[in-house]
Amino acid sequence: MSEFDLTEQNMYYRDQGRKIARECIRPLAAELDRTGEYPHKLFETLHKENLAGIWVPTEYGGRGASLLDLVIFIEEMARECGGMAAIYAVNALGSFPLILVGTQAQKDKYLPRIARGELKTAFGLSEPQAGSDAGNLTTTARVEADRIVLNGTKKWNTNGGIAGIYTIFANAHPEKGARGITAYLVEKDTPGFRVGKREQLMGIRCVPVHELHLEDCRIEPSQQLGAEGEGFKIAMQTLDMARPGIGAQAVGIAQGALDLALSYTQDRQQFGQPIARNQAIQFKIADMGTQIHAARLLVRHAARAIVQQSAQSQLYASMAKLFASDTAMSVTTDAVQLFGGYGYCQDFPIEKYLRDAKITQIYEGTNEIQRMVIARALFKAASNKDKQ
């Protein structure tokens, strides 16, 4: 693992994440993958260690950790279980809009509980017919007397069954398209709000992913998050902040798979010697390690760019998510191959890493969408350069 240009604070969160991963996540990972149960014990430990919401500003009881600290922490968690790392990352995702544009009253009400781990969050953007096409939302918001009334269905809501507060995006002016979208904070016990079916997932099986149903769900005007019509912008800003976290999850999964492959290939004997002595194995291991190192540096570079409010932060965030998740799939596929027949059996943990890796290419913007974002940014930069 590269320690290039890490501060003492960065290394503190690396060490804390590694400790939590080894002592708490590792013993739980296989069983929770089998049962699909939520990792309550993990969050009890995080609460005890004051690590449940490290990204929350200190004035609200959090650690005030930087985005770089957060991605380092997530990577260490994902090294032992991509699912538990995803749950932690989504708590950050769900609270980023509140941190970005919340009113003082909203922050005072929710952020201290998020920091303590008492309140889980979720991000309600996608719908059955609006995944990559996030601007095509059909969930509506209308003003009725002194309430805002929400109607619609949200899909693929990570943390959907466990969250206590949801950032819901709805269109108050459908005729305006994406410019009519506004963000709202909806509490779980609000009348008209209902958690629907849980999805049965291929990987990250401990993560509760649910449909959400809003049926004449009435909320106070004070639950509007940000300005009217700014919802799509808020969603995109949030996803730009969160994509390095998905990249970190992917890097952690890849590193965990490489760790297992390094151990197995040195222990596995074929033709009178460990298979690690075979050049074909060594070449594969070399490629895996190089890809992971490059992905890690790109993820951390993207996190730094966002903290520094670089004009290129969206570009780097998309590059990091794209490259890291493709790396995770490549590395875990190769790791399964290195295990041979055992890699295809649940007796060994490596197949879980492959299943967990796949989702990183899909959620928070598919890699096809990331390639579109990257290409547009590069063409725009080239055009601007030609005009100079």
Q: How far apart are CA 383 and CA 315, in angstroms?
A: 16
Taking 70 as the threshold, does the pLDDT of residue 2 lie above it?
Answer: no
Alpha-carbon distance values, 303 to 66, 243, 246 (Å): 9, 9, 11
The pLDDT tens digits of the residues spanning 363-386 come to: 988 999 999 999 999 999 988 877
Taking 70 as the threshold, does the pLDDT of residue 388 lie above it?
Answer: no
**Largest Cα–Cα separation, the chain:** 80
Q: State whether the Cα torsion 345-347-348-354 is positive or negative.
A: positive
pLDDT at residue 1, as a whole number: 44
- Residue pair 336/343 in contact by the 8 Å Cβ criterion: yes
- Written as one letter, the residue type at 259 is D
% of the chain residues with pLDDT over 90: 91
- Residue pair 186/212 in contact by the 8 Å Cβ criterion: no
For the chain, domain boundaries: 8-120, 122-227, 232-383
CA distance between the termini of the chain: 41
Q: How far apart are CA 94 and CA 90, in angstroms?
A: 6
Report domain 8-120's class.
mainly alpha
Element containing residue 153 per DSSP (H, E): strand 147-158
Taking 90 as the threshold, does the pLDDT of residue 129 lie above it?
Answer: no
- The CATH number for 232-383, chosen from 1.20.140.10, 2.60.34.10, 3.40.50.300, 3.40.50.2300, is 1.20.140.10
The pLDDT tens digits of the residues spanning 27-48 come to: 999 999 999 999 999 999 999 9
Token digits of residue 211: 């449909």
What does the pLDDT average to over 254-283? Answer: 95
Q: Which of 59, 211, 364, 368 is catalytic?
A: 364
Taking 50 as the threshold, does the pLDDT of residue 128 lie above it?
Answer: yes
Residue 23 catalytic? Answer: no
What does the pLDDT average to over 260-276? Answer: 94
The topology under which CATH files domain 122-227 is: Butyryl-CoA Dehydrogenase, subunit A; domain 2 (2.40.110)
The pLDDT tens digits of the residues spanning 46-63 come to: 999 999 999 999 999 999
Of the listed ranges 62-66, 125-129, 163-167, the one predicted with least confidence: 125-129
pLDDT at residue 3, as a whole number: 66
Grade residue 5 by pLDDT with cuts at 50, 70 and 90. Answer: confident
| Look-up of token digits 């401990």 | 206
The pLDDT tens digits of the residues spanning 131-190 come to: 777 778 999 999 998 999 999 999 999 999 999 999 999 999 988 988 999 999 999 999
Fold match, 8-120 / 122-227: no
Average pLDDT in the chain: 95
The β-bridge partners of 270 are 273
- Residue pair 50/104 in contact by the 8 Å Cβ criterion: no
Nearest to 10 by CA among 50, 65, 62: 65
